[in-house]
Amino acid sequence: MGSKKRQLAMVFDLNKCIGCQTCSVACKMLWTRDEGTDYQWWCTVNTIPGRGSPRDWEQMGGGYKDGKLSMGKAPERSDFGGGWDFNYDEVFYGKSAEKVPLRVVGEQPDWGPNWDEDQGGGEYPNSYYYYLPRLCNHCTNPACVEACPSGAMYKRDQDGIVLRDESACQGTRKCAEACPYKKIYFNHQRGISQHCIMCLPRIEDGVAPACARQCPGRLVFVGYLDDESGPIHKLVSEWKVAVALHPEYGTKPNIFYVPPIGPKPINDDGSIDENRNRIPDELLEQQFGPDVHQALATLQAEMAKTKAGGQSDLMDILIVYEWKHLFSEFTVDPVDIEQEAN
């Protein structure tokens, strides 16, 4: 391993995301099944517009303003929701099981992951929404690392993954305050915070992270930002069609998104307005910053090219004819990994 600093990144093509939560569940099954992690979903998919997971996270501050750390607050447990107990015994083994629906036992929740699913925005027939998968952004300027008073958090040189030494974490939750994306969770059982580790053990064995590998839509690209032959570099740096979420937060995220084009609006007479998009430009700019407009323009121009019978390298990348094209060198099959006994 050389000393060269590299940065792993991911690109989510939101035009292909169907909100199936397979990424969320893949992550859940792999990483957050232990005690204290019941409510933790390191990967979540939310319907936009919506209040998000955790609830109203975009109003909680953190990140950087004018190059200086900006104060934030940690979400409350109820802002995440989830981690509920269900009436499994009653449904699976009870006498009147057929009549009993699966439901939360005890205090009834009023929020949870993707609670406002598919509410969306706009008025019929011009309703709109899109799905936004979110995980730790493994930022180039990680506010969490700078805020940690315990020296527990760090960013690896070789791949830029933001990690936490759990033996040094004192559970101060300064990271959760400072992270503007509110993707850090507190483990009440262990008294430490936890977050996405970009499936580090898989990465080290050449396997793509679980959220990416399991995605049925084949919409998650993985690779190094500086790998000019890989799709990440092409989408982020060459075509500039993949943009960061809330770049104004100042942390330089390394999870990028191909913004959603969405359907065209329908006019009162039932005709289609080819000149506008249903998803408001202001919403996309609020989410992805001003660069989103050029990204959308490029996408639409390249789509038009192929519609007219032409060829587009960009469309070929986004179509992903072969799943291995998503993952640069991270195409090893997990079943081929020799597991070391603990």
Partner 1 sequence: MTNATLDARHSPANLEDILAPDGSAWNEMTGEVIALTPTPLDRQPSAYVQAAWKDRNHGAVAAVTVQAIRNDDTLALRLQWQAAQPKRSIDDINAYADACAVLFPANGKDTDLETMGSPERPVVAWHWRAGTDAPFSVTARGIGTVERSAEHQLQARSRWSDGRWQVVFARSLESDGLSLSGGTDIPIAFAVWCGAGSERAGLKSHSPEFHQLRIN
Identity of the residue, 162 or 207, whose beta carbon is nearer to partner 1 in the bound complex = 162
Cβ 297 to partner 1, closest distance in Å?
Answer: 38
Q: Which of 15, 141, 150, 331 touches partner 1 by CB under 8 A? A: 150
Cβ 147 to partner 1, closest distance in Å?
Answer: 4
d(CA 57, CA 61): 8
Cβ 178 to partner 1, closest distance in Å?
Answer: 5
Residue 109 touches partner 1, criterion: CB under 8 A:
no
CA distances from 333 to 50, 126, 255, 324 (A): 36, 43, 23, 10
Q: Which amino acid is at 175?
A: C
* Contact stretch for partner 1 (CB under 8 A) within 64-72, 244-252, 260-268, 318-326: 64-72
Q: Which of 186, 221, 249, 256 touches partner 1 by CB under 8 A? A: 186
List the structure tokens of 140: 């180039």
Identity of the residue, 19 or 72, whose beta carbon is nearer to partner 1 in the bound complex = 72
Q: Which of 69, 163, 303, 315 touches partner 1 by CB under 8 A? A: 69
d(CA 147, CA 242): 28
d(CA 182, CA 291): 23
d(CA 183, CA 57): 9
Cβ 26 to partner 1, closest distance in Å?
Answer: 25
Cβ 82 to partner 1, closest distance in Å?
Answer: 13
Backbone angles phi, psi at 25, to 5 degrees: -75, -40
List binders of partner 1 among 154-173 (CB under 8 A). Answer: 167-168, 170-173
**For the window 119-148, what string marks contact with partner 1 as x by the rule CB under 8 A?**
------------------------x--xxx
Identity of the residue, 76 or 118, whose beta carbon is nearer to partner 1 in the bound complex = 76
**Cβ atoms < 10 Å from Cβ of 228:** 11
d(CA 12, CA 49): 17
Cβ 165 to partner 1, closest distance in Å?
Answer: 8
Q: What is the total count of residues that contact partner 1 (CB under 8 A)? A: 31
Cβ 192 to partner 1, closest distance in Å?
Answer: 10
* Contact stretch for partner 1 (CB under 8 A) within 65-73, 94-102, 111-119, 133-141: 65-73
**Residues forming the site for partner 1 (CB under 8 A):** 68-69, 71, 73-78, 80, 143, 146-151, 167-168, 170-174, 176-178, 185-186, 188, 191
